[in-house]
Structure 1
Amino acid sequence: MKLSSYRETNLPSMSIKIKYAIWLLISNLFFLTNIPYPNKIKILFLKAFGAKIGKKSIIKPWVKIKFPWELEIGDDVWLGENVWIDNISKVSIGNNVCISQNTFILTGNHNYRKETFDLITLPIIIEDNVWITANCLIANGVTIGKNSLILLSSTVISSTEENGVYRGNPAIKIKNKL
C-alpha cells in the first residue's frame, strides 16, 4: 500500500460540507458533552438532520454520530455513553436494541490490497431485540440477527444468526440464546 497513491473519490458537494459543519457544531454542543440535555432535544436535532428515529429512544452523553442522515433507529433503543456510530453508509437499528458504552459501529474501511487504498463503505443492520454489550466493534457490511447478544469487547466482522450469543475477536457463536 502506498498512501501517496490514495485518491478520494465521490467528494461531497459544498451543501453537504456545510450541512456537516453545522452538524459538527450541534453535535459538539448537545451530544459530546456531560450536560444532561433531554433526549427530546437530541432526537429533535437528529431528525432535523435527516435521521429516522422511533419512539422512546435514549441517547446517553458522549454519543458520536458521523452523519445523522445515514441513521435509522427503531423504537425503544438505548445508545450508551461513548457509542460512536461512524456511518458514512447507512446504519439501521431495529426495535428494542441496547448498544452499550464504548461500542464502535464502523461502516467504512480501506482496501489494503490495492495500492490506491480505495475506500470501502457498506451498511450495517442491527435487527430487533439485540444487545451489544460494552466495548464492542461492529464492522461494515454486518447484519446482527434478531435476538442476538454480543458479549463484552467482541469484534463482529461477519453477520450473525438470529438468537445467537457471540463472543471474541473475531466474534464467534458460543451458544443459542435462551
Structure 2
Amino acid sequence: MNAFPAQNSGFRRYFMTHSPDSNPEPPVRRRLADYSNAEYHPGRGFLVRLTWYFVSLVFLESAWLPWSGLKVWLLRLFGARIGAGVVIHPNVRVKNPWRLSIDDNCWIGREVWIDNIEDVTIESDVCLSQQAYLCTGSHDHHSETFELTAAPIRIGHGAWICCRATVLPGAVVPGMRVVGAGRVFTRHQNES
C-alpha cells in the first residue's frame, strides 16, 4: 500500500484533469493581427488624450509633486468629478479622467492605478491603498480576435481596497466592504 496518495496514478490522473488550472474548453487559436477595437470610443479626441497623457506623466504619476490639491484640480480640468476632501498621493495613474467620479473624503494611495476605459464611481469615504488596481477592461478569451470587453466599476461608501488588491470589470464593491491585501474582487462577488 502506498503511503502517499499523490504517488498513486489514479490520484495523479484525477488532479491533472480536475485541477483549478485545467481548462476543459479547447484552446482558441488567437489571431491578434485581426484584432480591432474600432467599436470602442475613449470619450475624448486624440489631442485631449495625448495632452492628458503628458500632464498625467508629469504631475500625477511622478513622485516629485506631493500637492494633492493640484492633482485634484488637474483631474477636474480634464473632466473628472471629484468631491471635497479628496487626497491623492504621488505616483497615481488615471487612464481617462473624464470617466472618473470620486465623492467626498476619499484617499487615493501611492501607485494606485485606475485603468478606466469605462466609468469608475467611487463613493464617499473610500480608501484605495497603495498599488490598488481598478480595471474596467479585459479581452474575450473565447474570441479568436481577442475582442475588447469592458464594464464599469462602482465602489460603495466607506469601502477599503487594501494594498495591491484588484477590482475587475463590472464589480460593485458594497459599502463598508474590505477587499483584503492582494485579493481580487470580481463582478461575481457582487451578490455576496
TM-score using structure 1 length? 0.86
Q: Aligned partners of 2:62 and 2:70: how far apart in 1?
A: 14
Report the CA distance between 1:21 and its aligned residue. Answer: 0.6
- 1:105 alignment partner, SS class: strand
% identity of equivalent residues? 30
Q: Aligned partners of 1:11 and 1:146: how far apart in 2?
A: 30
Match of 1:30 in 2: 59
- 1:21 alignment partner, SS class: helix
Instruction: Kindly provide the amino acid, as one letter, of the partner of residue 44 in structure 1.
Output: W
Q: Deviations over 1:124-157 (max 9, x none)?
A: 0001000011001110000000110111100111
Q: How many aligned positions are there?
A: 163
Structure with higher helix content:
2
CA contact (8 A) 1:128 1:146 kept: yes
CA contact (8 A) 2:139 2:149 kept: yes
Match of 1:123 in 2: 152
Equivalent position to 1:91, from 102, 120, 128: 120
CA contact (8 A) 1:143 1:159 kept: no
Structure 1 segment 67-106 matched on structure 2, within 5 A: 67-106=96-135
| CA radius of gyration, larger in | 2
Instruction: Kindly provide the amino acid, as one letter, of the partner of residue 50 in structure 1.
Output: G
Over the aligned positions, Cα root-mean-square deviation in angstroms equals 1.9
- Uncovered stretches (5+) of structure 1, i.e. residues with no partner: 163-172, 174-178
TM-score using structure 2 length? 0.80
Structure 1 residue 136 corresponds to structure 2 residue 165: yes
Structure with higher strand content:
1
Structure 1 segment 1-178 matched on structure 2, within 5 A: 1-10=30-39, 12=41, 16-158=45-187, 160=189
CA contact (8 A) 1:102 1:135 kept: yes
Report the CA distance between 1:160 and its aligned residue. Answer: 4.3
CA contact (8 A) 2:66 2:89 kept: no
CA contact (8 A) 1:148 1:161 kept: no
- 2:149 alignment partner, SS class: strand
Q: Deviations over 1:21-68 (max 9, x none)?
A: 100111111111111332111111100100000010000000000000
Q: Aligned partners of 2:188 and 2:129: how far apart in 1?
A: 19
CA contact (8 A) 2:152 2:171 kept: yes
Instruction: Kindly provide the amino acid, as one letter, of the partner of residue 157 in structure 2.
Output: D
- Uncovered stretches (5+) of structure 2, i.e. residues with no partner: 1-29
- 1:41 alignment partner, SS class: helix
Instruction: Kindly provide the amino acid, as one letter, of the partner of residue 74 in structure 1.
Output: D
